[in-house]
Structure 1
Amino acid sequence: MTHPELGARVLDDAQIAHFVERGFVRLDGAFPPVLAEQARAILWRDLGCDPDDPASWTKPVIRLGMYTDAPFVAAANTPRLRGAFDRLVGVGRWLPCRAMGTFPVRFPSPEDPGDTGWHVDVSFGFDDPDFMNWRVNLASKGRALLMLFLFSDIGEGDAPTRIRVGSHQDIARQLAPAGEAGLSLRELAADGFAGSTGRKEVLATGQAGTVYLCHPFLVHSAQPHRGKTPRFMAQPPLLPREPLSLDRPDGTCSPVEAAIRQAL
């Protein structure tokens, strides 16, 4: 069940305008910290290292698979988040999250993790074994939102995701001539995402339970961990129930769609 009146309370008009213009909105207290604690216990179990022994943290990043355990699903489906989804994507236009996606757990390390390039999260064409051939199009086929779920407290030194503010507009304009076929990650990355180079950069910091709800075209990047405490963050997509449409009458476009229209 969706609650449009709750959505209006979760995100006000100023936050919606921020999302359209800048490509993201930060939602503090999106899920209870106790769920983050329960989730971290499951992740530590699977990491094969000791949370109390930094000597066992021998890699800069360890990637864990899809998680469908109760704490993860509960974290993704709080009334606060569901209300925000209604506001950003539209009532009835998104699918409930049934998995938290993959976890790139980052550890303090002087080593280069090897995955810190600027990028957008592509959303279809996953049958190709070469991930650089995976694709995204102007209708954001297969993805309604990019989401950053903070499962640990993340400060500026704890490898927070870097965000190029407003870069979703650059990507929308780049995708427009490509039509339904869209562009591959290889094509988008050919110039190193130079189209958004001059954009202001912000860091996705916050306490455990914070979620950054981002436009699917937002350019972002990981970074090395120079802090002291391992970082737990997930990036599940919000899946669309129906395709985005840029041809709706004014007033019925979602903020995700309005941002694309405005960029063009």
Structure 2
Amino acid sequence: MLRLVLRTVVVGYLVLLVAWPVSLVVTHTFDGGFSALSKAFADPEVTHALQLTAIVALSSVAINLVFGVTISILLVRYEFPGKRLLSALLDVPLSVSPVVVGLALLLVYNPRSGWLGPALADAGVQIIFSTPGMVLATTFVALPLVIREVVPVLEEIGDDQEWAARSLGASSFQTLRRITLPGVKWALVYGVVLALARSLGEYGAVKVVSGNVVGSTQTATLLVDQRYQNFDQPTAYALSFLLAVASVVCIVIVSVLRPKQEA
């Protein structure tokens, strides 16, 4: 009886918190059939926002993948002063509001009054109110996701096989490619999926650093807010549906492929 009650509470909680609100977005998207999606895809502002979102999200995921693996190996395989502080700092993006992150980046990279912005502007490099700033903000908020998936797996598998490979003459790169990365492949996959989903849905930090210029620095999430505020609800629902589908598809693909790879 207790198990049944707990199961009912958990299912009800998930339905009220996740399934019901998402289902309402889907329902409103298809109120008039496929007209909302057709209208959205025919809108150049929507297509530009989707393309920019994909560029920013994929760039952020690629950066976090490279540095996530590097930082994970550093934290697990090496001892150095400040290790605990570094590990604690990695959780800052999860605890700080994205708006604060965007404001901090603005203070550093503002081309007029930032610490580094004027020097970069003189060199012809613009960070704020352009794609690089949006990638930087998105990378920051999704930074811990790959690391927190990889670190426990690295700790679990240990370093015996890596030392054995090195004793047989393998270089550091060969050991990484043939021993370390295959051992954490599924942790990497899940970390990348989480980072991608987080990057696709980022709003606060991107809004601060992008300037939200229509047709230039406006991502899909920013366009959803603008269209909804401007009473263009069908387009807002359609874009929200597309963003949700992209994230769900990534998770479903991973869930389907994992048993086949491990079998």
TM-score, normalising length from structure 1?
A: 0.25
Higher helix share: 2
Higher strand share: 1
Larger Rg: 2
TM-score, normalising length from structure 2?
A: 0.25
